[in-house]
Amino acid sequence: MKILIIVHSLTGGGAERVAASWANGLSRRGNSVTIMTGLRGQQTYDTDKAISLVQLNSYRLKSRSIFQRLKAKILNPVRIFNQIRLYIDNEQPDVIMSVLYYYPYSVLLGRCFAKYKVKLIQTDHNAYERPKGHGFAWKQWRNKFIDNRFFDKVTVLTHPDKKILNKKGIHNVEVLHNPLFLKPVAAVPEKEKIVLAVGRIDQWYVKGFDVLMKAWGEIAKCCPGWKLRIVGAGDDSTIDMLKKKAGDAVDKVEFVSYTPYVRDEYLRAAVFVLSSRYEGWGLVMIEAMSQGCAVVACDYNGRQAEAVSDGKNGLVCMPGNVEELALKIKELINNDSLRSILQNQGINSVAEYSEENVAINIENIIRSI
């Protein structure tokens, strides 16, 4: 099959890494794959040599003046739509996979005005519900509950999200879990006394890092020798704010800047924590399991429970609950036998998320349309 994947960039970001993994898995299975990107920048995610890379030619600002920004806002959608239209007619791909909602109207209009009628799949990587008081902005709501009706297929990360769309009359929906780009370890490596969390620190509320820091303030009192490492991009003011949440345990907390070598962090850590208040699914959680971490996951209305079964391949707790999160982490720290069992079971449970298996799922979705 001939597949075009449209993504904002291949530089940083979870969805961008997923796009690269999709392309690699599909290419290795003999499909012809092209990735079209909009944002210029150094590529941080590797793609196979057989994959073609195409750069969208967007209007480049000559200054930050109001006139220049207005000109870019008008010209860029037109330029991108026309490039997509021309690509469809010239290359005639079997399907376009659009990652997130950077160019939904350019893709839909490109298909509408092209002579060759390509199939379109819109892929989403976020939950379709939010806690009270943290609802969707209008543009997000429109993308999810209006725009998705016009694609041949929409993929979501979990069955709870599929049910939400079905209840709103949107039935062109398939569940597609994100692929694991890391090769699972054969056996649990030697671990250090590290509890690890990974995520953008500037998104601390969503990621529940304040909850984790408060929990760590209690954990550190009774678990000497252990330390907490939080890996992700964030400014100093946010980090300083979070440090205060840990109280006297702040000297047992380390903040680490974003690194493309996150696998090394997983290999060192004995325990991984997904402390998010709300999360679409949690690819970092699967990555940690594949590298022999025992996982504690805050489950947002059944989403993380699709991958982590409490007491079998990890521990599950409610989001936003400091006491329960502290209790679960302490349980893994203090119970060597349980930690070892969950580490091994975690490794054994991630095979279905391999790039090849996810590529097979994508091929099946394409064939269905």
Count of CB atoms situated within 10 Å of the CB of 120: 22
- pTM, two decimals, is 0.90
Give the model's pLDDT for residue 27.
97
User: Can you spell out the DSSP letters for 289-320?
Assistant: HHTT-EEEEE-STTSGGGT--BTTTBEEE-TT
**Once rounded to an integer, what is the mean pLDDT over residues 337-365?**
97
pLDDT in tens, 38-57: 876 678 788 999 999 999 88
Domains (range + CATH), the chain: 2-179+354-368 (3.40.50.2000), 192-352 (3.40.50.2000)
pLDDT higher than threshold 80 for residue 61: no
Q: How much is the pLDDT for 38?
A: 82
pLDDT of residue 60: 67
What average pLDDT does the structure give for the chain? 93
Distance of CA 84 to the CA centre of its chain: 25
Q: What is the pLDDT of residue 228?
A: 97
DSSP H helical ranges for the chain: 14-28, 66-91, 104-113, 138-145, 159-167, 204-207, 209-222, 236-245, 262-268, 283-290, 322-334, 336-348, 355-368
Alpha helices in 92-235 (DSSP H): 104-113, 138-145, 159-167, 204-207, 209-222
pLDDT (0 to 100) of residue 65 = 75
Q: Read off the pLDDT band of 339 (50, 70, 90).
A: very high
Give the confidence band of 63 by pLDDT, cuts at 50, 70, 90. Answer: low
| pLDDT tens digit sequence for 186-229 | 999 999 999 999 999 999 999 999 999 999 999 999 999 999 99
> pLDDT band at residue 5, thresholds of 50, 70 and 90?
very high
Position 12 confidence tier, pLDDT thresholds 50, 70, 90: confident
pLDDT value of residue 62: 63
- What is the separation, in whole angstroms, between the first and last Cα of the chain? 13
Percent of the chain scored above 70 by pLDDT?
98
Report, as an integer, the average pLDDT of 305-325.
96
Q: Answer yes or no: is pLDDT of 243 > 90.
A: yes
pLDDT at residue number 207: 96
pLDDT of residue 344: 98
User: What pLDDT is stored for residue 45 in this prediction?
Assistant: 85
* Average pLDDT of span 259-284: 94
Position 64 pLDDT exceeds 80: no
